[in-house]
Each structure stands twice: as C-alpha cells, then as structure tokens.
Amino acid sequence: MKKLIALLAFLFAQTALADINIFSCEPEWASLSQELGGDKVSVFSATTGLQDPHFIQARPSLIAKARNSDLLVCTGAELEIGWLPLLQRKSGNSAIYDGALGHFMAADYVSLANIPTSLDRSHGDVHVAGNPHIQTSPLNIKIVAKALNQRLQQIDPTNAEYYQQRWQQFDTRWQAAIENWQQQATSLKGMPIVVQHDSWVYLTDWLQLKTVAVLEAKPGVPPTIGDLNKVLNTLQQTPAMAVISAGYQSTKASDWLVSKTDIHRLVLPFTVGGTKQSKDLFSLFDHTIQMLKSVQP
Amino acid sequence: MKPLKLVLLITAALTPMSPVFADDLNDLKAEIAQMRADYEQRIQQLEQRLAANDLSTTKLNDEIKDVPPAPIANNLTSKNSFNPAISMVLNGNFNQYQNNPEDYALDGFSVQGEGDLGKQGFSLGESELTLSANIDQALYGQTTIALHEHEGETEIEIEEAFIESLGLANGLTARAGRFFSPIGYLNQRHIHAWNFADAPLIYRGLFGNQLSTDGLKLSYVLPTDQLFEVGASVGAGDSYPGGGEHSGIGDWLIYAKTGGDIGIESSWQASISHWQSSPEDRAYSGGHSHDAASASSAVFNGDTNITNLSLVYKWAKNGNFRQQNFSLIGEYFLLNDDGVITHSDEFARYDGKQYGGYVEGVYQFNPQWRSGVRYDWVASNHKASDNELLADAGLDGNYSNPQRSSVMVEYLPSEFSRIRAQVNYDQSYSDDDLQLLLQYTVSLGAHGAHSY
C-alpha cells in the first residue's frame, strides 16, 4: 500500500513538474514556441522544412503526439486541412479541439493576403481564408510571437512571468534583427523574381521584391509546358534575376527555366530547416537575405 | 476679451470717420504685435498637441493591428452558415471481362451483397454524398449516403451515419450509429479511397465487399509516445456474415492498433482485430441453385468468428508525401463457422474455415501519377455432414485456391479527381478471366481528410 501511495505521489509530482507539451504543425512554429517557452515547454514539430505542409499523412506517430499535447501551434487558414482535423478527432484529446485554449492558429492573428474574390476549384488549390504562408515575413512572426506569449501565459499561469520575460527578450532581439535585415536588404528593393508557387507574398511585400511571374499558373497544379512558355515570354519582356522555390517543391519547372534563360535558381529555406543553414528563426532570414543578395550583380 | 478688443480696434482703425492720433497708433501697433506673439505661441502649442495626438494614434493603430481582427459584421443569417461540410463523390466505370460476369463465383465462398462483378461496359458507379459537422460542443456527426443502380433501379443506401464524442475524456472516443466495423485496414475506408477499383477477394467473399455495424464503438488511445490504440464495438449482428435479429448484442469486436515512424521517411501501422457473432438464419442467397424456383435459400445457424491482421508501411523521400511515395499494405483474414446449415427440410452439421488475404504496393512517382500491383488469394476448408447442402449454400469448391493478380495506373489531375485503369488476371473459379476496369472518381465540395 505504501508503495502504491509512493508511486501515486511520484506520478502526481511528475504531472506537476511536467512541461507544457507543444505540438507544432510546422518547424517555424516549433522554433518560435521554443524561443518563447524556454525550458518550461517541450516542443514537437509534425513536419520538417523539407515536407509540404499541405500533404501530410495523419500517421500513427502524429496521433500519439497529438494525444499527449497541451497546445497545438499551427498555421491555420486551412493549410493543414487535409490532416490536422483527423489528428484532433483521432487523438480524443479535448485540450486541442477547435476553440479550446490549446488550439492556437497563427494565421488568426495576421491579416492575410490574397484572399480570393471568387471560389472555384478550377482556379487550383486556392485557400479560402487567404495565403497561409505567413512565416516568410518576420513582421508576421513578431505579431504571432506576441499572441503566442499571451496564450502560453493563459495555459500555464504559474509561469506567466517567465514567459513574459522570454517574450520581451525575444521581441527586443527580433526587433533588432528586423532592422538589421531591412538594412541589409535595401539593395534588394525592386529586384525582379519568378516564384514557383504563390507562397512568398509576405516576403516579397516585406522586402519589396517584384514578382514578375508565377510558375504554377494555378496554385498547387504542376505547371504545363504551355504555362512555362508563357512565363518565358513574360521574361523576355521583363527579365528576372532569380526563380524561387521551397525545398519541398519539385525543381523540374525551375530547372527548365534555368536551361532556357540566364536566370538563377534559388531554393530558399521557406521555413526553419528548409536549408542546412536555417537552423532557427534568426538564421532563417539571415540565410534568405544572404541567398537573395548572392544573385545580385 | 482680447479677440473682442482686436475686432473693436480693427473696426476703429478701418473706420475713416474716426480721427487717428500717432500715440494711439503706436499703442495699437504694440498691442497687435503682442497679440500676434500670443497667438503664435498658442498655435504652436496646438500644433504640438496635434502632433502628440498623431503619435498616439499611430501607436494605437499599431496596437489595433496586433489585435486579431473582429469578424466583419455582415447580414449573414445563421440559416445557411451552419450548414455541414458537404462533399459528393462521383464514379463512372467501363468494364470488360473475358467471361460472362453473371457466371462469376468465388470457390468456397458464397458471395453476397455488392460482392459481384460490376456491370460489363459503361456504368455509373456509386455516387456518395457525405455530410459532416460538429453537432454541438460534445458531438460530431457524419453521414454517407450512397446511390447506386441495381438491376435497373436506383437504390439508396446509408453507408455510414454516426455521432462521435468530442473529447469525452483524455484519449477516449465513443461512436454510435452505423459505421464501418473497425476490422482490418481497408474495411474502415470508403471504397473511393481504396487503391484498386475492386475489393480484395477476401473482402468480397467474407463481407460482400465491406462490413458495417449498427451499434456502438469505444476507442482509447494510450498516453504513450508510440501509438497504442485499443477499442471495442458491439452491434446488431445482422449484416453478413452475421444474420438475424438479435434483441441484445448481435456481434462484438475488439481490436488493438499500434504504429510509428522509422526515421523521417518511413512509417508503419499494425493492427489485430477479432469479431464474433452468432448468426441466426444467415441466408446464402448466392448459391448455385439460385433461380426463381428455389426461392428459399440455404441458411446457417451457429457461431462465427473472424480474426484479422493488418500491416501498413509507407515511405516518402524526406517524408515529403506530395512528390513521391510508396505504400505497402497487407492483410490476412480467418473466419471460423461452427453450426448447422439448413435448406428446405434437410440439414447438415457444418464446420467451415475461410481465409485469405492480399498484398498491394503502390508507388506515386510524381504528384500526378501512381501505379500499383496487388496479389490476393483465398482458400477454404469446409466440413459438412452432407456435402449437398454445401453446394446449396454455394460453399462448395474448397478444392481450389482462388487467386488474382492486378495492376493499375492512375492519373490524378488534382487531389479531387482520379482516372484509373486496372487489369486483373482473375482465377476465382475454374474459368480464368482477364478483366479490364476503367474508372473515374471525383470529389466535389468540401476538402476531406483521409486517414493513414
């Protein structure tokens, strides 16, 4: 009996000490959660920087992780519509259902670009709520960080002060980093580029890059040779310096373009872990800007 | 008072009738200068205040930007905005068989329900309408209604209609209504989500393609790092290979499931399930002697159990499923029957075994093309005190081992559409058959999520 009590006491002590388990859908939110949560949280990322977050299998391992998590930190805006609802339901974990305190969707806090004016599947894989790839601008991350800090404090009030401090430190560092990046990127202003998929709008807005063409004529649909020829025509009128894609996208179309023109191909990190050099949120933008500048004459 | 004075003075200065003296003029000038200075100071103060206000407005604006935007007020009424997610799956087929599909038989099995071969030539496949939504804070609901043509008439079938708890307790989920029995892997997926156009032979033989249950299901995900899920269901026990009306629990099932990742690129899942029922008058309507004259079919009474093992393995380069992936699925079923077969006035003690499985591998080599192969086989071992009754029930032919090999290739214009071509070399009965199945499957409406 004593042993049992000791065991129970041990288990309860464990729960009292236990970290906040964070299930993040994408590596950028895992990185942010770790920055803000420090050693009070343990963070799991459901995807890597080399996986397309639209197409993830609701794998057994993800169900087990979702089952044991206290907080979901995901992009939202239907980016994870093909798998996250299943994980929520199959996990039987009410803490992470829609509307629960443990359900944090970053896109809810950012004003989204490219909200479609008409909805029709013949337009490709359009996102009803707007473009969900918000992590390509550090300004968005600043806003999300503030909201996530508040959420962490709500979920774990005993450590509220700790989170507040971590957030303040992060915000100061992040602000300084943004100013630094903007300074570095002044020469990039107006740089003409071609993008693979419409997933860079927040980056191009922030750095004022000029998107001349999109390889995917319809979002999510691999471009046909006809689509590519159109892009080629556009480029003859207005040449671009680089064609940009993310690590998880096929390089077939951009390879073709590189073979036809003297455009540079850039596989930008897109998220943490998208390239070897982008190990956290800071190096993500360091490397992005560095790569963009590398193709400038 | 000053403005009034100014007005008076100006009036006075402008009035030609009033005499103006030098001293007064100087005084006046001084006063005006004084006033101007005074006013300039005030204007400056005002400007400063305005600027300060401006600053705090931008600050406020910044803060507002940070606050999540409130929903835009509009004139939507709640009548339509709470509509459930609706999706419709449409199917069309073109089938060619070497043999007459009417002659089809699966040796050692009595094929029931929708287990027969699809219509030769052009035909409309099953059209499925699925509606789903959260009902309230506690429940989720989903239904799939299938429409299909059978002998010239359109039949409506409720494939699924269930409610499910939303967070009953940590890891526990309850489901009630009609649902696909949690036996095996394919059985819990809609036919349109299968990798091949037709069911594996063992599914065809045991269930007439798919086993569903009207009842209750409980599942529990253990709080472990690796997935362990256990569950049980109870049901009416009236769908084949069950049978009859049971006043209480007609069938029950238990299952266990586990799975995980192997590195970043591979994942797997294994499950075991066991189903049991005591069918009353399970009708073998597909017996060899089924013509209008012998309207009464052979029936089975006794105990039946089925055990299933399933294994799924999936691979994708970098775990990035979109570009290339490979999946390997294998399942094995074993059915035990112990009871009595009755036909007309005759009866026979019957001890039967039916078993079999399939292995399929599918490779998606780019986002729009997939190809796969499948091998499936079944076998049976029936012992009856009177073999004639086995023939009446359509269970004869356990001397042969039916098997089939299939190849398929799919073109997927998007996530929502698929065109498939499949070739089967079918050895279900004594006459081997070469089959060609062409099929389109599209999904309209809400974006569904497919389970692992």
Phi, psi of A46 (to 5 degrees): -75, -20
Phi, psi of B315 (to 5 degrees): -135, 145
Rg value, chain B, Cα: 38
Q: Which residue has the higher pLDDT, A141 or B447?
A: A141
Percent of residues, chain B, with pLDDT higher than 70? 85
CA B385 to chain A, closest CA, distance in angstroms equals 47
Give CA separation, A171 vs A73, A143, B82, B305, in Å: 19, 10, 39, 63
Summarize the confidence of residues A81-108 as an average pLDDT.
94
Q: In the structure, what pLDDT confidence band is assigned to residue B1 with cuts at 50, 70 and 90?
A: very low
Q: Is the pLDDT of residue B72 over 60?
A: no
Q: Is residue A175 less than 8 Å (CB to CB) from chain B?
A: no
Which chain B residue is nearest to residue A110, measuring alpha carbons?
A: B68
Which chain B residue is nearest to residue A139, measuring alpha carbons?
A: B66
Contact list, A78 vs chain B (CB under 8 Å): 447
Most confident of A38-42, A293-297, B148-152: A38-42
Q: Which of residues 7-46 of A touch B (CB under 8 A)?
A: none
Q: Is residue A50 less than 8 Å (CB to CB) from chain B?
A: yes
Burial class (CB in 10 A: 0-12, 13-18, 19+), A203: buried
Give CA separation, B140 vs B84, B132, B150, B176, in Å: 11, 8, 32, 11
Report the pLDDT value the prediction gives residue B47, as an integer from 0 to 100.
77
Give the three-class secondary structure for A160.
helix
Which chain A residue is nearest to residue B413, measuring alpha carbons?
A: A221
DSSP state letters, B105-171: --TTS---GGGSPPPSEEEE--EEEEEEEE-SSSEEEEEEEEEEEETTEEEEEEEEEEEEESSSBTT
Contact list, B134 vs chain A (CB under 8 Å): 98
CB B267 to CB A59 under 8 A?
A: yes
Report the pLDDT value the prediction gives residue B9, as an integer from 0 to 100.
53
- Give the Cβ contact number of residue B276 at 10 Å: 16
**Calpha distance B254→B240 (Å, rounded):** 18
Contact list, B190 vs chain A (CB under 8 Å): none
CA A143 to chain B, closest CA, distance in angstroms equals 6
CB A64 to CB B322 under 8 A?
A: no
With beta carbons less than 8 A apart as the criterion, state whether B343 and B296 touch.
yes
Q: In the structure, what pLDDT confidence band is assigned to residue A33 with cuts at 50, 70 and 90?
A: very high
ipTM: 0.89
Which DSSP state fits A69? -
Q: Which of residues 62-81 of A touch B (CB under 8 A)?
A: 63-65, 67-68, 78, 81
> What's the number of CA atoms in the CB half-sphere (13 Å) around residue A21?
16
Give the three-class secondary structure for B190.
coil
Which of A61, A171, A249 to probe by mutation at the B interface, max B CB count within 10 Å?
Answer: A61
Report the pLDDT value the prediction gives residue B397, as an integer from 0 to 100.
74
Q: Which residue has the higher pLDDT, B407 or B43?
A: B407
Q: Which residues, including other chains, have CB under 8 Å from residue A62's CB and lie 6 or more apart?
A: A46, A56, A83, A87
CA B36 to chain A, closest CA, distance in angstroms equals 45
Q: Are strands A264-268 and A242-246 parallel, antiparallel or unpaired?
A: parallel
Which chain B residue is nearest to residue A68, measuring alpha carbons?
A: B223
With beta carbons less than 8 A apart as the criterion, state whether A194 and A260 touch.
no
DSSP state letters, B306-359: EEEEEEEEEEEGGG-TTT-EEEEEEEEEEEEEEEEEEETTEEEEEEEEEEEEEE
Q: In the structure, what pLDDT confidence band is assigned to residue B53 with cuts at 50, 70 and 90?
A: low
- Give the Cβ contact number of residue A132 at 10 Å: 25
Strands (E), A60-124: 71-74, 103-105
CA A82 to chain B, closest CA, distance in angstroms equals 4
**Calpha distance A288→A292 (Å, rounded):** 6
What does the block give as tokens for A297? Answer: 């004459």
Q: Which residues, including other chains, have CB under 8 Å from residue A190's CB and lie 6 or more apart?
A: A208, A209, A210
The closest of A274, A296, A279 to A136, measured between CA atoms, is A274
Q: Is residue A139 less than 8 Å (CB to CB) from chain B?
A: no
Q: Which residues, including other chains, have CB under 8 Å from residue A88's CB and lie 6 or more apart?
A: A66, A72, A96, A97, A98
> Could you tell me the strand order of the sheet in which A41-45 lies?
A41-45, A20-24, A71-74, A103-105
Q: Is the pLDDT of residue B245 over 60?
A: yes
Contact list, A124 vs chain B (CB under 8 Å): 414
Phi, psi of B201 (to 5 degrees): -55, -40
For A64, the closest of B134, B227, B367 (CB atoms) is B227
Q: Which residues, including other chains, have CB under 8 Å from residue A181's CB and lie 6 or more apart?
A: A138, A285, A286, A289
Summarize the confidence of residues B201-205 as an average pLDDT.
96
Q: Is the pLDDT of residue A37 over 50?
A: yes
Q: What is the dihedral of CA A127, A130, A135, A140, to 10 degrees?
A: -160
With beta carbons less than 8 A apart as the criterion, state whether B229 and B219 touch.
yes
Which chain A residue is nearest to residue B174, measuring alpha carbons?
A: A92
CB B171 to CB A109 under 8 A?
A: no
CA B347 to chain A, closest CA, distance in angstroms equals 47
Contact list, B366 vs chain A (CB under 8 Å): 222, 250
CB B261 to CB A143 under 8 A?
A: no
pLDDT tens digits for range A199-256: 999 999 999 999 999 999 888 888 999 999 999 999 999 999 999 999 999 888 999 9
CB A93 to CB B166 under 8 A?
A: no
Q: In the structure, what pLDDT confidence band is assigned to residue B293 with cuts at 50, 70 and 90?
A: very low
Report the pLDDT value the prediction gives residue A126, as an integer from 0 to 100.
83
Contact list, B261 vs chain A (CB under 8 Å): 59, 61
Phi, psi of B379 (to 5 degrees): -155, 165
With beta carbons less than 8 A apart as the criterion, state whether A272 and A284 touch.
yes
CA A271 to chain B, closest CA, distance in angstroms equals 14
Summarize the confidence of residues A276-288 as an average pLDDT.
96
What does the block give as tokens for A181? Answer: 């990046």
Residue found by looking up tokens 């750095």 in the block: A207
Burial pattern B49-74, b for ≥16 Cβ within 10 A else e, equals: eeeeeeeeeeeeeeeeeeeeeeeeee
Q: Is the pLDDT of residue B19 over 60?
A: no
Q: Which of residues 213-242 of A touch B (CB under 8 A)?
A: 220-222
Per the prediction, chain B carries an average pLDDT of: 87
Report the pLDDT value the prediction gives residue B259, as an integer from 0 to 100.
97
> What's the number of CA atoms in the CB half-sphere (13 Å) around residue B291?
2
The closest of B356, B345, B380, B368 to B417, measured between CA atoms, is B368
Summarize the confidence of residues B55-77 as an average pLDDT.
51
Q: Which of residues 92-111 of A touch B (CB under 8 A)?
A: 92-95, 97-98, 108-109, 111
Report the pLDDT value the prediction gives residue A18, as an integer from 0 to 100.
56
**Calpha distance A107→B234 (Å, rounded):** 42
Which chain A residue is nearest to residue B229, measuring alpha carbons?
A: A64
Report the pLDDT value the prediction gives residue B45, as an integer from 0 to 100.
82
For A112-142, give the secondary structure using H, E and C: CCCCCCCCCHHHCCCCCCCCCCHHHCHHHHH
Beta bridge partners of A246: A268
